[in-house]
Amino acid sequence: MDQDTLVKSLHPLEVKILLNFAPHEPLTASLLGQKLDYKIGQANQAFSWLCGKNLCRETGRTSRTVYEITELGREQFSAGTPEENLLKALQKGPIAMAEAASLLGLEQKDMGSAYG
């Protein structure tokens, strides 16, 4: 690809990186977020495009695991898990399987599967 075509093919995200960082300056997604106010997805996309055009290269990669609570997790955090709620109900005395399923908001077939 000739230089004119390459320059015309640059996306504004790429241009902003090329104008704000020196050649051979190490870049990370978090650095682009701090200096250019890029979101992680924008930074990763721009890296991908620049590497595809041989205007940058990956020199390292760090993995990290991130956990995010789901809506179900939030509900169970505030109201308790089905197991916790079942144990609370059983502390008052024995209850029928159908009553336990109703108390926990489960179908009786699911309750039976979980129990046995």
CA distances from 115 to 1, 44, 86 (A): 65, 46, 11
Q: Dig out the tokens for 18 from the structure.
A: 């090329």
Q: Are residues 44 and 7 in the same domain?
A: yes
Cβ neighbors of 80 (< 8 A, separation 6 or more) are: 88
Residue ranges making up the domain that contains 11: 3-52
pLDDT at 115: 66
Structural domain count, the chain: 2
User: Do residues 83 and 36 lie in contact, with contact meaning Cβ atoms separated by under 8 Å?
Assistant: no
* pLDDT tens profile 53-78: 999 999 988 888 999 999 999 999 99
Which carries the bigger pLDDT value, residue 113 or residue 12?
Answer: 12
- Domain-embedded: residue 65: no
Q: Are residues 7 and 45 in the same domain?
A: yes
- Domain-embedded: residue 12: yes
- Domain-embedded: residue 40: yes
* pLDDT tens profile 32-46: 999 999 999 999 999
